[in-house]
Structure 1
Amino acid sequence: MEISDEILQSVPLHLRQTEMSYVGALKISHSTVHNLKRRGRLRTHTACNKPALSSDHKVARLRWILSHINPFTGNQDPTFVDMRNVIHYDEKWFYLNPDKRRFYLLPSEEGPYMAVQSRRFKLKAMFMAIIGMPLYGIDGEMLHDGKYGIFPFTVQQLAQKSSKKRPRGILETKALQNINREVIRLMLLTKVIPAIKSKWPESLAKDVVIQWDNARPHQVPRDAEFIEATTTNGFNIQFIFQPAQSPDLNVLDLGLFRSIQSLQYQFFPKDLDELVQKVKDSYDTFDPEVNKYIWVTLQNCMIKILKAKGGNKYKIPHMNKKKLENIGILPEIVVVQKEVVVEAVEYLNTMFRPANQGNEEVTEELEVDAD
């Protein structure tokens, strides 16, 4: 039975979300749809909500990416700047268990039983993670894995009442639910900055840049204690804000959190203490090779954003990084086509040029940023 592409596309998208509704609208059998997928006539696609971007967001994303490209002259294609001194920072909620789990069982096996007290109020904890680029030597040996730590927002306090799990007066772990500016400052002072100083590679300069998003609690403290912590022992730790609505410009949101969560869901923690330990174990066992791949993906996403004029309507690029790694041609710093950069700069020039100037020169500030 031959079905044309016009007939397949004539079904509205809201009737193409399940195979049942699709075959019902086409009035065909399920086996016909399976054959169409097997022959490549149909494909499955998962659509996810992406952050809504205004024109200001798109301009900010373009300017951010252009600032991360080395200056170039002539016909030579430019490259991204060296990011080995950059550390990405973000927070994420980790839950005790997912709503659904998939198992492979024998026909005679009984399905695992999962039960929770409330589907709305789930046991969870927020973690702060920091990650940098892995550092390799001339011979390819790994000098630093880029991992500086993952830290839970939890406190130890005395139990006020007795329960079947523990007696009254014993120390128990509680997850903080209100992560405000002061909590972030304390975490930076007691966990993040000491971890960076103790694990920072000796071969790199101590000018450290921490990139984080524009969440409301993310305010750089200006008190004397914090300034001293970021400038002692020869360090110069600075904080920069990535563009708003841009999780695709942070390696944690781009792939590392998903990798850690998939590892954490392989276990079955029973309480908050086990959840914290399993998340830390997942972070520690996270493959540094995958970390290197995510930083390469970040640079390729930047190229996609340039081509999309600052938008986020693009597919995460795949370049067979494992295969390129095996043959020794995986780039640590990605090359950008000169035409892509020039086109993005011309688009910004159009956005900033006053209407009465036509094709005249743009403002000096934008020219400096484009350079």
Structure 2
Amino acid sequence: MTKKKYNYYLEATEEDPHRMCKNKNYIGKVMFLLALARPRFDGDGNETFSGKIGVFPLVTYEPTKRMSVNRDAGTLVAKPISLINKEVCRNFLCNMMLPTIKEKWPRDDVGETIIIQRDNVPCHINDNDEEFRRVTCDSGFDIHLMSQPPNSPNLNVLDLGYFNAIQALQHKKAPKTVDALIDAVKKSY
């Protein structure tokens, strides 16, 4: 649960860190779905809504088949989803992200249109997906999907600033398992 290449600045008395891994190509990777909104403030400048909606790891929880030194048989373990496709994206949007938006969204802004903006990755669902529209219409919220224009700098600030800050904080924890990585990212968020 680390990078392929990592720079260390060590004192003369410190030893080089040692990483145990079969190969640099076998380093585990987990993708996360992160939901942010514009923070809201009242007339006095006090924060009424932080804008943090949630961070959702793209993992499945499977029971272990055998008992080991680390865990009993049947313990649920997080496994990264190796193939992200439209069905996985639709499932996470409809079953995890939308209920969290409905729960955390400020009650003053319920009638306004909510636009979920994302990049143009081919595995994402279409902007006018029927199942997504059906789920959003049932709630009373006006939620729409919008793909980011190609080569747009709109989300570049998030990539360079916010997401790199979360990743830098997560790397300080040095997680060794997928569950530890998920906890580190959620605490960094």
TM-score range, shorter-chain basis?
0.7 to 0.9
Structural mapping, 1:65-214, within 5 Å: 96-98=1-3, 99-105=5-11, 107-161=12-66, 163=68, 165-204=70-109, 205-214=111-120
Tell me, in whole angstroms, the C-alpha distance in 1 between the residues paired with 2:95 and 2:187.
Answer: 21
1:222 to 96, 116, 130: 130
Partner of 2:36, secondary structure, is: strand
2:184 maps to what in 1?
278
Number of matched pairs: 184
In the alignment, structure 1 segments of 5+ residues that lack a partner are 1-95, 284-371
> What does 1:1-371 align with in structure 2 at a 5 Å threshold?
96-98=1-3, 99-105=5-11, 107-161=12-66, 163=68, 165-204=70-109, 205-220=111-126, 221-223=129-131, 226-246=132-152, 248-250=153-155, 251-283=157-189
- Contact map agreement 1:162 1:168 (CA 8 A) in 2: yes
Give, in angstroms, the shift of residue 161 of structure 1: 4.7
**Structure 2-normalised TM-score?**
0.87
User: Gaps spanning 5+ residues in structure 2: where?
Assistant: none
Report the CA distance between 1:254 and its aligned residue.
4.1
The C-alpha deviation readout for 1:51-72, integer Å capped at 9, x for no partner, is xxxxxxxxxxxxxxxxxxxxxx
**Structure 1 Cα separation of the partners of residues 100 and 74 of structure 2:** 32
Select the structure of larger CA radius of gyration.
1
SS at match of 1:229: helix
RMSD of equivalent CA atoms: 2.0
Instruction: Write out per-residue CA displacement over residues 61-107 of structure 1, whole angstroms, 9 at most, x where no aligned residue.
Output: xxxxxxxxxxxxxxxxxxxxxxxxxxxxxxxxxxx2123142443x3
Distance in 2, Cα, partners of 1:110 & 1:214: 44
Task: Write the deviation string for residues 133-165 of structure 1: whole angstroms up to 9, x where unpaired.
Answer: 111122211111111111001111122355554
Q: Any runs of at least 4 consecutive aligned residues in structure 1 with deviations exceeding 3 A, and if so which?
A: 160-170
Shift of 1:168: 4.4
> Identity across aligned pairs (percent)?
34
Partner deviation per Cα, 1:171-217 (whole Å, 9 max, x = no partner): 22110010000000110111110111111112224311111122112
State how far apart, in whole Å, the 2-side matches of 1:108 and 1:255 are: 33
Q: Is the 8 A contact 1:206 1:234 kept in 2?
A: no
With normalisation by structure 1, the TM-score equals 0.46
Aligned partner of residue 243 in structure 1, secondary structure: coil
Q: Distance between the aligned counterparts of 1:257 and 1:194, measured in 2?
A: 23
Partner of 1:365: none
Letter in 2 for 1:171: L
Q: Which has the higher helix share?
A: 1
- The structure that is strand-richer by fraction is 2
